[in-house]
């Protein structure tokens, strides 16, 4: 699904991995992790992970990007619930992802 969404973005590569994210970052030479934040609870969760990652790999920085206000209420849980009851989710996900659902 992600590959379909970002198919026209040559600078984005989708890669699956197992294990610690900081170990994966080291294996590909990444110095930064970009994490999206929608809500205060997302920030608290991501902050804790970033602090642990920093302890494990001080040379890898976490960068947080805050979502646009209109996207803050959209979550996979809510979208799955709408989908479960045959609701229209097209306004909540990229059009390229619809074919997978």
Q: What is the pLDDT of residues 38-68, one digit of tens each?
A: 999 999 999 999 999 999 999 999 999 999 8
* pLDDT score, position 71: 84
Q: What share of the chain is helix, strand, coil (3-state, %, to 5)?
A: 45, 10, 45
Instruction: Please state at what angle helix 40-56 crosses helix 21-28, rounded to 10 degrees.
Output: 60
* pLDDT score, position 69: 87
* pLDDT score, position 14: 93
* Distances from the Cα of 22 to the Cα of 2, 60, 66, angstroms: 21, 7, 22
Q: What's the whole-number average pLDDT of the chain?
A: 94
* pLDDT score, position 101: 84
Q: What is the pLDDT of residues 10-20, one digit of tens each?
A: 999 999 999 99
């Amino acid at each position: 699904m992600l590959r379909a969404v970002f198919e026209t973005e040559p600078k984005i590569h989708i890669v699956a991995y197992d294990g610690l994210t900081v170990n994966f970052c080291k294996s590909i030479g990444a110095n930064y992790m970009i994490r999206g934040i929608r809500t205060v609870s997302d920030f608290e969760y991501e902050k804790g992970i970033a602090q642990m990652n920093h302890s494990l790999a001080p040379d890898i920085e976490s960068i947080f990007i805050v979502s646009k206000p209109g996207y803050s209420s959209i979550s996979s849980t809510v979208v799955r619930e709408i989908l479960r009851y045959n609701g229209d989710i097209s306004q909540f996900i990229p059009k390229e992802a619809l074919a997978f659902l």
